[in-house]
Amino acid sequence: MNSGCSSQTALVAIVGICFALPLCMCKGFDPNSETAIDSHIETIDDPLTLIADSDTLAKWEDWAMRSDEGQWENDPSHNVQLTLVHTFGGEENLDPPFYSVKWMQVSGDTLFIADRARECLVCMNSAGEVLWEYGARGEGPGYFNRIGPIAVSDSWLAICNIDGDRVELITRSGELIEVFNIMNPLYVETIDPETFAVLSIAEAGGDVHLFDINTGHLASFGECPWQGGEFIQRSTNAFSAQCINNRYLIVNHFFEYRIVVFDVFEEELIAEFVRNHPSGSLPSSSVSMREDESIAGIFFFLLGKMFIGPEGAINIKLDAIQKDGSVINSRTTIGPAPVTVIDRYNLTGEYLDSYCIPLPNCTEFRYSDPYLYVSQSYTGTVFQFEMD
């Protein structure tokens, strides 16, 4: 088992594809230069729901791609065009099917929403019609104490009960199948029709924990030295992941600026990658243990949630970007950027390009051709875009 992350370029053969993963290859970007942040980037004073215009999008996309050269940059065949189709929930809907969108999952034209306000899973179709609901606040199977991420297969759903220390497996029609106990499950991802992976730092044995839907726990592995290390024992919001080729689990930690790859067959951490951050400067987390063994410190969100988008690209949010292009680095903020910045990588870990969703404060993203579903946690709204 490889228990650390190499700082050198890794080369791993993955299903006939070379996995070449460069770590932060800088091409001379100077964060102190006058052109590091455009002073003319447009901002919005009250940006909770306002859609950014095309000029604002173009300026922010230019900003996002200035620190690294992406393979798809300036290639019109890979341009992203987002057209707003529909919104669900939020203040405009007086009887919304959900109130606090924390996590989403999509399968075809079916959308699954983890409603933190009511601690339930809402299943709805792409027209916004609620098909069924599962769960409520409380203890025991069918009840949640901080509902979390969702994994989906053709025949089942797996739902994290973060503070309830378990993952619940239910049918696609919302009926309980089985309960799997695991400490502080922070993310769940489908590996294949019989297997799912749970990400947890609190559970012994590693960060990745594999489960068979019929027999239960299979293996734990992959202790990755995230910033803060063993101090981070319990959390409510730390990971996102995507499984590629039923074998390779691509994971990011929200408080780390890096993306790592686990091989679930070999049960080891095999590679990491990330491109140069466009802000030019990232805040550092600080964690320490007091004499009474309590933990003191502060963490900053650097990366947001990950999803697979068009052309099979890895899409990942650059988190906590402020309207001057800096990253939030204290409890005092100057206001969010008027857009949400998404970086794209190919399956070999190479940076492709960036695009912007024309909304601020987007927190969750799911793609099902041709639609991109985006949530704003502060407004309780899900936006459905057609993605060309």
Q: Are 19 and 10 spatial neighbours (Cβ–Cβ below 8 Å)?
A: yes
Residue 39: count of CB within 10 angstroms of its CB = 8
pLDDT given at position 31: 35
pTM greater than 0.85:
yes
Going 96 to 98 to 100 to 101, the CA torsion angle's sign is negative
Q: What is the DSSP letter of 133?
A: E
Q: Does the domain at residues 47-387 carry the CATH identifier 3.10.690.10?
A: no
SS3 123: strand
pLDDT given at position 137: 95
Q: Are 111 and 101 spatial neighbours (Cβ–Cβ below 8 Å)?
A: no
Buried b (16+ CB within 10 A) or exposed e, 180-203: bebebbbbbbbbeeebbbbbbbeb
| CA 70, chain centre distance (Å) | 21
Q: Given the DSSP bridges, would you call strands 143-144 and 136-137 parallel, antiparallel or unpaired?
A: parallel
Residues of the chain with pLDDT under 50: 1-48
Burial class from Cβ neighbours inside 10 Å (0-12, 13-18, 19+) for residue 64 reads buried
Across-strand partners of 357? 340
pLDDT given at position 90: 78
Q: What is the DSSP letter of 60?
A: H
Structural domain spans, the chain: 47-387
Q: Which of 210, 252, 282 is nearest to 349 (CA)?
A: 252
How far, in Å, CA of 86 to CA of 83, rounded? Answer: 9
DSSP string, 164-231: TTEEEEEETTS-EEEEEE-SS--EEEEEETTEEEEE-SSSTT-SEEEEETTTEEEEEE-----TTGGG
Q: Are 316 and 342 spatial neighbours (Cβ–Cβ below 8 Å)?
A: yes
The token pair at 74 is: 């300036």
C-alpha separations of 312 from 344, 346, 386 in Å: 10, 8, 17
Query: For residue 301, how many C-alpha atoms fall within 13 Å in the half-sphere facing its CB?
Result: 17
Summarised one tens digit per residue, pLDDT across range 53-108 is 999 999 999 999 999 999 999 999 999 999 999 999 877 676 778 888 989 999 99
Q: Given the DSSP bridges, would you call strands 239-244 and 216-221 parallel, antiparallel or unpaired?
A: unpaired
Residue bearing tokens 């996995």 = 19
Summarised one tens digit per residue, pLDDT across range 149-179 is 999 999 999 999 999 999 999 999 999 999 9
SS3 77: helix
pLDDT given at position 306: 97
pLDDT given at position 14: 40
Across-strand partners of 249? 243, 262
Going 80 to 81 to 83 to 84, the CA torsion angle's sign is positive
SS3 76: helix
Amino acid at 163: D
Q: Which residues contact 51 (CB under 8 A, 6 or more apart)?
A: 84, 358, 359
pLDDT given at position 5: 39
Burial class from Cβ neighbours inside 10 Å (0-12, 13-18, 19+) for residue 61 reads buried
Q: Are 342 and 353 spatial neighbours (Cβ–Cβ below 8 Å)?
A: no
How far, in Å, CA of 385 to CA of 5, rounded? Answer: 37
